[in-house]
Amino acid sequence: MESNFDVIVIGSGPGGYVCAIRSAQLGLKTACVELSNTLGGVCLNRGCIPSKSLLNSSELYHKAQKEFNNLGIETTNIKLNLSKMMNNKKKTVQTLTKGIEFLFKKNKITHLKGRGSIASSNTVTVTDDSKKKTSYKTKNIVIATGSEPTSLPGIKIDEKIIVSSTGALSFEKVPKELIVIGGGYIGLELSSVWKRLGSNVMVIEFLDHIIPGMDKDISDAFLKILNKQGINFRLDSKVTRINVVKNKAVVDFINNKNAKRERIECNKVLIAVGRKSNISDNISKLGVKLDNQKKIKVNNKFETSIKNIYAIGDVIDKGPMLAHKAEDEGIAVAEIIAGQAGHVNYDAIPAVIYTSPEVAMVGKTEEQLKKENVKYRVGKFPFLANSRAKVNNETEGFVKIIADEKTDKVLGVSMISAVAGTMIAELALAMEFGASSEDIARTCHAHPTHSEAVKEAAMAIDKRPIHF
Ligand SMILES: Cc1cc2nc3c(=O)[nH]c(=O)nc-3n(C[C@H](O)[C@H](O)[C@H](O)COP(=O)(O)OP(=O)(O)OC[C@H]3O[C@@H](n4cnc5c(N)ncnc54)[C@H](O)[C@@H]3O)c2cc1C
């Protein structure tokens, strides 16, 4: 048996690596097991970071082609070099994953390379590439094994023609036609990337609206914006079959309402219908309780049904599958293990879609509040009336703030804006501090900034916006 640890974290995604660093900061002897060759999990290697790299590069390409001329920046002969764009993405990923290696060394965290499995509540066995098994004793175990893409029943992802997000982040050629199944944030971000780079993109969504879970006003407005950008949609439609014929995919789908059937041929199909948590057989055998979606059940201290075994991130039954949620849980669980009072406020976790414009929300949607019979007031402010948005030609979108009718406490904020992903932090902070809309309305916001629309939306709750 190898050295004794206070904490062994299994998985080095944003939940796992952050948990390992915080544990080490708190003086706990910490190891982190990772089966991939690089640290950082899905987020750094095949999720948040590579997708944002391609979103950024493709947006610049699109702007250089379509918008620079209007600003008096004359460009000729703009060409796409996809392999260079992909190399830039690869370099960014490498720099960031190496950064985590550096942080592990700096914090004296033992990096165990291989597949971790839990032999008992105090023993983790690591199987390396050469199948050698080594067992490590530990006082606490944190499962942070994350998630992987799911497919539709009977449809096999081959990562060549029928791809998951992983494949869609690495196409070698711009597909002439791309069908994206699933109108959630991953599907729409990647639709935007490939549309800007020249694909004909069609999104097929089972529900009658896109971005499920977001405010209906936002979802409707966002659909119009994406339609205007040339992305086609088939809503309320169920994919029944995909056949691969001579390097092409033939997608069959049926309209849920009128039963109209359609068949469309394309070069690539991206399946973006959700993700399932990485649960090994060994975890179930040990008796760690799972919910009906096969996610690990944890209490508010991230304890599983077995003492000393904790779980965080995409693998658990709490909160959205997002990197910053996993990170906050990583910090909280380390603090709990160290005897402190770690906590995550699931009511104030922002969610962002990094398209152009961006979509962001925090707290409750109007639909949720209606269901909960909460009385509320709404304030909206459009970017058409925001001076900075006008200056930058970024007038699409609006801010929508919902506050409690009686107490005026902010209950939820949703927005569409060029910089919504950055702006939403102010509202997450406001909600953490239990702010009222009046607090936001009376806070001085710098001029000219997109953030002034937040102040104005707060003023609109009291029907007193200045610029609209
Ligand atoms: C295309 C895409 C874009 C995304 N964009 C965003 C975004 O912009 N913002 C955002 O917040 N979220 C985004 N996400 C979601 C985000 O990536 C996840 O929520 C986040 O990575 C979850 O972190 P985690 O630590 O729970 O697990 P993961 O990141 O999934 O990491 C788990 C790690 O555990 C390892 N592992 C699994 N089993 C074992 C084992 N038995 N032994 C050792 N190691 C093991 C895996 O190899 C992996 O490295 C995106 C996801 C995708 C797919």
DSSP-assigned states of every residue in 24-91: HHTT--EEEEESSSSSSHHHHHHSHHHHHHHHHHHHHHHHHHHTGGGGT---------HHHHHHHHHH
Place of tokens 């935007």: 192
pLDDT at residue 2 is higher than 70:
no
Q: What are phi and psi of 446, to 5 degrees?
A: -65, 145
- Whether 447 sits among the annotated catalytic residues: the reply is yes
Measure the CA–CA gap between 124 and 384, rounded to whole angstroms. 57
Element (H, E) at 239: strand 237-245
Task: Find the 13 Cα to ligand 1 centroid distance in Å.
Answer: 5
CA 147 to CA 329: how far, in whole Å? 16
Alpha carbons 9 and 309: distance in angstroms, whole number: 10
Which of 62, 111, 343, 447 is labelled catalytic? Answer: 447
CA gap 262, 251 in Å, rounded: 8
Report how far residue 75's alpha carbon sits from residue 68's, in angstroms, rounded to the nearest whole number.
7
How far, in Å, CA of 234 to CA of 232, rounded? 7
| Mutation choice for ligand 1 from 44, 48, 141, CB with most ligand atoms inside 8 A | 48
Sign of CA dihedral 221, 430, 185, 56: positive
261 exposure class (CB count in 10 Å sphere: 0-12, 13-18, 19+): exposed
Task: Report which ligand 1 atom has the smallest distance to the Cα of 40.
Answer: 49
- The minimum-distance atom of ligand 1 relative to the CA of 17 is 25
Q: What is the pLDDT of residue 281?
A: 79
User: Of all protein residues, whose CA lies closest to atom 3 belonging to ligand 1?
Assistant: 47
Structure tokens at 430: 């406001």
Distance from Cα 192 to the centre of ligand 1, integer Å: 22
Residue 345 has pLDDT above 80, yes or no: yes
The Å distance, Cα 146 to ligand 1 centre, comes to: 5
182 lines ligand 1 (CB under 6 A): no
Report CA(315)–ligand 1 centroid distance (Å): 9
Q: Are 313 and 329 in contact (CB under 8 A)?
A: yes
Instruction: Provide the b/e sequence for 5-21 (b: ≥16 CB within 10 Å).
Output: bbbbbbbbbbbbbbbbb
Atom of ligand 1 nearest to the CA of 126: 42
Instruction: Provide mean pLDDT across the span 270-279.
Output: 97
pTM, full prediction: 0.97
Q: No. of H helices and E strands in the chain?
A: 14, 22
Q: In angstroms, what is the span from residue 19 Cα to ligand 1's centroid?
A: 14
Q: What percent of the chain has pLDDT over 90?
A: 97
Tokens 């969504």 label which residue?
205
Point out the ligand 1 atom lying closest to the alpha carbon of residue 48: 5
pLDDT given at position 280? 87
435 lines ligand 1 (CB under 6 A): no
pLDDT digits (tens, 9 = 90+) for 133-182: 999 999 999 999 999 999 999 999 999 999 999 999 999 999 999 999 99
Which of 18, 42, 279, when mutated, tests ligand 1's pocket best, judged by the most ligand atoms within 8 Å of its CB?
42
pLDDT, one tens digit per residue, over 32-91 is 999 999 999 999 999 999 999 999 999 999 999 999 999 999 999 999 999 999 999 999
Q: Which helix (H) or strand (E) holds 439?
A: helix 437-441
Q: What spacing in Å lies between the alpha carbon of 289 and ligand 1's midpoint? A: 21
What local confidence, expressed as pLDDT, does residue 225 receive? 98
* Ligand 1 atom nearest residue 14's Cα: 25
Q: 61: number of CA atoms within 13 Å, CB side?
A: 19
Q: What is the mean pLDDT of the chain?
A: 97
138, 281, 382, 388 from 63: Cα distances, Å:
53, 49, 23, 18
Ligand 1 pocket check for 38: Cβ under 6 Å: no
Residues in the chain: 468
Query: Is the CB of residue 126 below 6 angstroms from any atom belonging to ligand 1?
Result: no
- Ligand 1 centre to CA of 10 (Å) is 12
Tell me if 45 CB under 6 Å of ligand 1. Answer: no
Q: Are 159 and 148 in contact (CB under 8 A)?
A: no
> What are the tens digits of pLDDT across the range 384-423?
999 999 999 999 999 999 999 999 999 999 999 999 999 9
Residue 91 neighbours by CB under 8 Å, 6+ apart: none
DSSP letter (8 states) at residue 273: S
Mutation test of ligand 1: which of 35, 43, 147, 276 has the most ligand atoms closer than 8 Å to its C-beta?
43
Q: CB–CB of 134/302 below 8 Å?
A: no
Return the exposure string of 98-115: e unless at least 16 CB atoms fall within 10 Å of the residue's CB, then b.
eebbebbeeeebbbbebb
- CA-nearest residue, atom 34 of ligand 1: 11
Q: Which of the listed residues 93, 113, 145, 286 should we mutate to test ligand 1's pocket, taking the one with most ligand atoms within 8 A of CB?
A: 145
Distance 277 CA to ligand 1 centre (A): 10
**Closest ligand 1 atom to the C-alpha of 36?**
47
Is residue 1's pLDDT more than 60?
A: no
Atom 17, ligand 1: which residue's CA is nearest? 43
